[in-house]
Amino acid sequence: MRSFNYKAVLFDLDGTLVDSLPLILKTFQATMLQMDLHFNHEEVLSTVGLPLHDICNHLGGSRGKELFNRYLEHQDAIHDDYLDEYQGTTEMLKSLKEKGYRLGIVTSKRRVIAERGIKLTGFDSFIETLVALEDVPRAKPEAEPVLKALDNLRANPKDAVYVGDSPFDIQCGKKAGVKTIGVTWGVSGMAKLQNESPTDIINNWQQLLSFLDKQGV
């Protein structure tokens, strides 16, 4: 029988660890303009965190597959120029690693593009497991992605936290039985996060470190 006795901190990627919102918005704006589709900034933001196929089907309707393919092509060309970590993220990950936490990323992005971003930022030095879109039968907001990451890290839900910026992250974490932390610098403001009743909401990484110290997670 496997022993599950490690403490884990799991993170969403887009809008949580990396500032990819400019990349996402610019890519959708460019591709939808090419296709003569109406681009609505707020509507696109409301979908961030869901699998790209679902987003494109929602925004593109019957042309969802075409939008998906155009999106991939355009994003691949500009990805590295429009992706950066949020301030202090590397230092936070390093601190958690030194404290003995097992660290993972749970994202609805495709593995190839998620790995590209993690390597670009250097997060691969700290992250032990990545659960991407292809790794589970049901993506966020269902529980499977977080549960798979915990299994990979040999951690119990009661000893884990999932940190994310969207309602889908909070819903996923709660279904998996872990503590949930909403961050205010991504796609969702305080009010939208409060509607999901996460365990806590933070405005900076120092508040995450303080939360973990107080909770004994």
Active-site residue, from 12, 14, 159, 169: 12
Q: What are phi and psi of 197, to 5 degrees?
A: 50, 55
User: Can you tell me the distance from the alpha carbon of 123 to that of 18, in angstroms, rounded to the nearest whole number?
Assistant: 10
Concatenated DSSP letters for 49-89?
Answer: TB-HHHHHHHHHGGGHHHHHHHHHHHHHHHGGGS--BPTTH
Continuous H helices in the chain: 21-34, 41-47, 52-60, 64-78, 89-98, 111-121, 144-153, 167-176, 190-194, 205-215
User: Can you tell me the distance from the alpha carbon of 29 to that of 27, in angstroms, rounded to the nearest whole number?
Assistant: 5
CA-CA distances (angstroms) from residue 203 to 48, 191, 217?
19, 13, 19
Active-site annotation holds for 12: yes
Q: Which helix (H) or strand (E) holds 202?
A: strand 200-202
Active site residues: 12
